[in-house]
Amino acid sequence: MGAMTEPVRTADLRVSDVERRAVQDRLHRAVGAGQLDLHEFDERLQAVWAARTRGELQQVTRDLPEPPPPPPPAPRHRVFSGTPGGTAMRALATVWACVVAVNVVVWLLVSLGNGGPAYPWFVWLAPSGAVLAVLYATGIGRPRP
């Protein structure tokens, strides 16, 4: 009968390029987290691509803890968002503000052309702005908790 051979230890198994890339990505994260400087990163990266076994790859990262997860993004609070009514409110408020701005500019030009102030017809847009304010105050267009 043939001689019995011992199984290969996990540390002695050959590594693939896929495993090397995974360790390379881990080193990139370590640099981004400030765990390695660029000189150390370069040295370890050379060792990764020269490694033949899993044990050699493990030596490259054995002293690196997994970097902490990135902090969650800060909550964004926008005035007219979060609901379909919020989108409509934002659009209505934008249109209203543009109409008021155009009317004020035209009024200023007419007043300058006449040599004195003209009738301020743009004040007739105030009731529609008041309606938008009341809708917002009653809850339409505000984000829901």
Which tokens is 18 given? 């896929």
35: closest CA among 61, 14, 71, 16?
61
In the chain, % of residues over pLDDT 90: 44
35-50 residue pLDDT tens: 899 999 999 999 999 9
Distance CA 126, CA 4 (A): 95
- pLDDT of 31 > 80? The answer is yes
Give the mean pLDDT of 128-145.
76
DSSP designation for 78: -
pLDDT of res. 80: 47
Name 133's bridge partners.
none
In whole angstroms, what is the distance from residue 140 CA to residue 128 CA? 15
Could you tell me which residues come within 8 angstroms of residue 89 by beta carbon, excluding any fewer than 6 positions away? 80, 132, 135, 136, 140, 141
- Is the per-residue pLDDT at 145 higher than 70? no
pLDDT in tens, 80-135: 445 666 777 888 889 999 999 999 999 999 999 998 888 988 889 889 889 888 88
* Helix boundaries (H) for the chain: 17-32, 38-50, 54-61, 84-114, 126-137
From first CA to last CA, the distance across the chain in angstroms is 76
Rounded to whole angstroms, the Cα distance separating 30 from 63 reads 11
User: Using CA atoms, how far apart are residues 127 and 63, in angstroms rounded to an integer?
Assistant: 68
